[in-house]
Structure 1
Amino acid sequence: MSVVFVPERLRGKAEVTPETLQRLLDENDQLIRCIVEYQNKGRATECVQYQHILHRNLIYLATIADATPASVQKTD
């Protein structure tokens, strides 16, 4: 199950930590690897479910980034 999936009753109550963000980035890495592997095998239908999860994760990350004040964001 995706790190991003949170039951409706808990949404907005979970704290976003650096560990959570790293787990999500690691999950996205694995999703991309699975998608590429399935595409290379010509199994596009299997890619779709992973693409949906990746899309949801990316939207979640973008939402967090948009909600984070610029003074808090790091520019390394």
Structure 2
Amino acid sequence: MSVAFVPERLRGKAEVNQETLQRLLEENDQLIRAIVEYQSKGRATECVQYQHILHRNLIYLATIADTTPPNVQRTAD
């Protein structure tokens, strides 16, 4: 299950930190690799499933980026 998926009852309570963002980026990398592999094998159904998860993750990241003030500097841990 995607690290970006948070059940409705827990939304707004999860802490967004550098570790969570890194895990999400790594998951997106794995999703893209799986999509490319399934596309090369002609397995469209699996592609669509992974594309939906990737889309949800990207929307989540965009939402975080939109709500983060521009003057906040992030440091690598």
Relative to the length of structure 2, the TM-score reads: 0.92
Higher relative CO (CA 8 A, sep ≥ 6), structure 1 or 2? 2
Number of aligned residue pairs: 74
* Matching residue of 2:31: 31
TM-superposed CA distance for 1:44, in Å, is 1.2
CA RMSD of aligned residues (A): 0.9
Identity of paired residues, percent?
Answer: 86
Render the CA deviation track for 1:30-61: whole Å, top value 9, x for unaligned.
Answer: 00000000000111121000000000000000
Per the alignment, residue 58 of structure 1 pairs with 58
1:71 paired residue number = 71
Q: Give SS of 1:15's match.
A: coil
Stretches (4+) displaced over 4 A: none
Q: Deviations over 1:2-50 (max 9, x none)?
A: 1011111110111100000000000000000000000001111210000
For structure 1, which segment, 38-47 or 51-60, has the greater mean C-alpha deviation from structure 2 after superposition?
A: 38-47
Query: TM-score, length-normalised on structure 1?
Result: 0.93
Ranges in structure 2 where 5+ consecutive residues have no aligned partner: none
